[in-house]
Structure 1
Amino acid sequence: LGSSIVGFHTREHGNHFLSCIDRILEARIDRDSSTVSYGGRLTAVNPYPISIEWPSRWLENQRPVPDCRVHIRERHAMGPDRLVGIGVDRLDYTKGIIERFLAVERLFELQPEWVGKFSFIQIAAPSRTIIDQYQHFHDQVYALAERINKRFGREGYEPIVLKVKHHEPPDVYEYYRASDLCFVTSLHDGMNLVAKEFIAARDDEQGVLILSQFTGAAQELPEALVVNPYDIDQCAAALHMALSMTPKEQRARMRSMRGLIQEFNVYRWAGRMLMDAARMRRRIRVMKQVGQASGRGR
């Protein structure tokens, strides 16, 4: 509260912050203006959903989407007609990777026609590997992928491709461009920029975003297929819907989401915070001047 503004990804998080202040500090809170007066200072508490640059620098040297599709499928010994899903995360339990794999397994159980036609590629950057709990989670993810591959895979077909290593942004963007869908199943995430990166990568206006309702991004991107990652059947149904979606509907959804990310990019995000901070400083100066004038008037 020594700052002019305090920002959160979502209004909900800001409201929780105000509630904590109300319980803990002797401060005056104006809910209408979302400001806090404490220790002789005035602070505004606002939502500033972080975004990405537009256009992305990682698109500058990318191949056309059809070439990306061919290259990624050849790299993984997949046929040209294989439908591909992509997940990009740290190997962290909060990202819902196990729930994601269970949804893929459930898709194959409920819609067996996708077996042999759809593969899911999971890029998972190693995270906190020296911590026992994270190593245990790492083992769980590997074991689940192996179980699903043994159950539904066959020679020349691997349902889940697990790539546990760091990938540079140009490589990740090539996967985005090559995929038919992006699956984000975070169990809790302030924003999740993977969703926005996938949208930015798709200048062909194709591809489907399946997005956890527990991400800040879900509040900005209603055109995504928004799911509860704990509801495995719902996630499997969303996968089926994404794989069956017509190019026309994909284009309509993607065009709307791309328009939003283009308008509310990271530069606007930063500019809005700077402008709000300057506005608050001016407001504080005026309030001080008014207070001083009132004091002299007495």
Structure 2
Amino acid sequence: MSASAQDQNPEQFDFVVVANRLPVDRVVNDDGEASWKRSPGGLVTALAPVMTAADGAWVGWHGAPDETVEPFEHDGIQIVPVELSEREVNHYYEGFSNSTLWPLYHDVIVTPEYHRAWWDSYRRVNQRFADATAAVAAEGATVWVQDYQLQLVPKMLRAARPDLRIGFFNHIPFPPVEIFAQLPWRHRVLEGLLGADLIGFQRASDASNFMGAVRRILGFTIRGQQVHVQDEEGKLTHISRAEAHPISIDAQAVAKMANDPKVQARAKEIRRGLGNPDVVLLGVDRLDYTKGIGHRLKAFDELLEDGRLEVGGAALVQVASPSRERVEKYKELRDEIELTVGRINGQHDTMSHTAVRYLHHSYPFEEMVALYLASDVMLITALRDGMNLVAKEFVAAHVDSRGALILSEFAGAADQLKHALLVNPHDIDALKERIIEAVRMPTTEAQRRMRIMRRQISTNDVNRWSRRFLKSLSADPAESAHRTENRTTGAGDRDQEPDSAPEPDSVHQEH
């Protein structure tokens, strides 16, 4: 915070992050005393270092409905809680955000629900977030709004505080206009997003989808990556830009943990607990219908039936972190996955080995890195995914350059990790062949691929992502129009890096 801002108002800040959740969780010890600790969400991991360095403020919900919490400071970050009622949690979050927008933006894998009461709640909550942000942002501050729960905030902020520099980042995919057009409130959502000076997306295709929707639905003039935003009378109000800025991870922290002797010992213990199979296959996901968990279970089951893999020689570990358990579609998915696992194990288990080790838990960072190290093949079979940070964590953890990554071409990570074994997860036969290819891959080839992917991730880490986004946000629109905007090129053999560097997807980093 600048000295002048401090003199004017000690409660205002030059850099403000706005997200659905705060970067802290409340914990209660055995004596009943409550305190706060940094939460393990992927967004928090990405932005906490930037916040600490900037002495910034974070606006978000603290996680408990119908409770007021006063602002406080934690680890160098000013925490600004926003209150939500139980009804708003049901309508704004579980309703409009996760039962309307989430399935719509993930290509309607599950049918979205459209309820006017949900929309009304979404609009009111977005206004509350905008008001709280306007109150703590210093004159000329930079505000970075995060994700699909808060798509109306940029325009609301611009109306209240035209002096602010506003960025927005969409961590999940943005659908083609033919799908997005189904949304009854499509005009309002696009207008809300266009309140930002810069709108960031995971993939160039997402930015292109957004521009297509703006052109077709709003009819605004588009030049390159710039949108000439107009008021109701057709007068130009400002220029908004849409760019691809693929998010990444703290690769150095993952590698450091992977080199810890205790973590390496734990990895060996995990393999022993699985009966020391020749090959450990791993799936790590939130329990979400977008992740394609059923597809990989089907492929593994068929490989066992075909005799191409056998229990004892191969084991599949599936970590499925609990997610949105009050939403009906997620309850149904959990039942379906658990029935499938039970059937596979009932058919293929032996007295000494289990075919699928299913773990419906969240795990701490150290345990996840140990699990990555213990595994030979990572299965990312997302049907649609903004990025998928688990894929990057698996690569970063393999400091020995061992292992193989099978990666859905529908995950944003496929744009960077081109030396993974890319697959269409809907094609079960192709998925089976990729699994066999990974299991039988010569060590030298596996190491070559892994070294290239590790180089890409270490070069394009989460710090580079945030730095590049904020640099682009601060740039003059006229200057940015002349820049080359290909932001999703992977490292490749020459370690070529994109101009800028998540629905954060890590199970231990899920919010």
* Distance (whole Å) between structure 2 residues aligned to residue 113 and residue 48 of structure 1: 39
Question: Is the 8 Å Cα contact of residues 248 and 460 (structure 2) preserved in structure 1?
Answer: yes
1:71-150 mapped onto 2 (5 Å cutoff) = 71-76=269-274, 78-79=275-276, 81-150=277-346
Deviations 1:188-239 (A, max 9, x none): 1011000000011010100100001110111111110111111111111111
Deviations 1:137-163 (A, max 9, x none): 111111111111122211011110000
1:163-242 mapped onto 2 (5 Å cutoff) = 163-242=359-438
Instruction: Say if 2:253 is the partner of 1:62.
Output: no
1:262-273 mapped onto 2 (5 Å cutoff) = 262-273=458-469
Q: Which amino acid aligns with 1:241?
A: E
* Distance (whole Å) between structure 1 residues aligned to residue 446 and residue 265 of structure 2: 20
The Cα shift of 1:51 comes to: 0.4
Q: Which amino acid aligns with 2:394?
A: F
What is the count of residue pairs matched by the alignment?
280
* Distance (whole Å) between structure 2 residues aligned to residue 94 and residue 205 of structure 1: 29
Question: Is the 8 Å Cα contact of residues 65 and 178 (structure 1) preserved in structure 2?
Answer: no
| Partner SS for 1:41 | strand
Deviations 1:63-116 (A, max 9, x none): 37863442102334x13x431011111111111111110011122233435332
Who is 1:153 aligned against? 349
**Which runs of 5 or more structure 1 residues have no equivalent in the other structure?**
285-298
State the TM-score, normalized to the length of structure 2: 0.53
Shift in alpha-carbon separation, 1:194–1:89, aligned structure 2, 3 A: same
Who is 2:200 aligned against? 7
* Distance (whole Å) between structure 2 residues aligned to residue 247 and residue 68 of structure 1: 23
* Distance (whole Å) between structure 2 residues aligned to residue 184 and residue 144 of structure 1: 18
Q: Give the % identical residues.
A: 35
* Distance (whole Å) between structure 2 residues aligned to residue 210 and residue 69 of structure 1: 20
Question: Is the 8 Å Cα contact of residues 107 and 237 (structure 1) preserved in structure 2?
Answer: no
* Distance (whole Å) between structure 1 residues aligned to residue 479 and residue 271 of structure 2: 57
Structure 1, 64-73 or 206-215: larger mean CA deviation: 64-73
Task: Return the match for 2:209 from 16, 22, 29.
Answer: 16
What root-mean-square deviation, in Å, do the aligned CA atoms of Structure 1 and Structure 2 show?
Answer: 1.9
Question: Is the 8 Å Cα contact of residues 176 and 202 (structure 1) preserved in structure 2?
Answer: yes
Who is 2:108 aligned against? none
Superposition misfits of 4+ residues, deviation over 6 angstroms: none
| Partner SS for 1:230 | coil
Structure 1, 112-121 or 201-210: larger mean CA deviation: 112-121
The Cα shift of 1:58 comes to: 7.2
Structure 1, 207-216 or 62-71: larger mean CA deviation: 62-71
| Partner SS for 1:95 | coil
Who is 1:37 aligned against? 228
Q: Which amino acid aligns with 2:214?
A: I
State the TM-score, normalized to the length of structure 1: 0.89
More helix as a share of residues: 1
Question: Is the 8 Å Cα contact of residues 86 and 179 (structure 1) preserved in structure 2?
Answer: yes
Who is 1:292 aligned against? none
| Partner SS for 2:312 | coil
Shift in alpha-carbon separation, 1:254–1:75, aligned structure 2, 3 A: same
Shift in alpha-carbon separation, 1:58–1:129, aligned structure 2, 3 A: farther
Who is 1:275 aligned against? 471
Q: Whose RCO is larger (CA < 8 A, sep 6+)?
A: 1
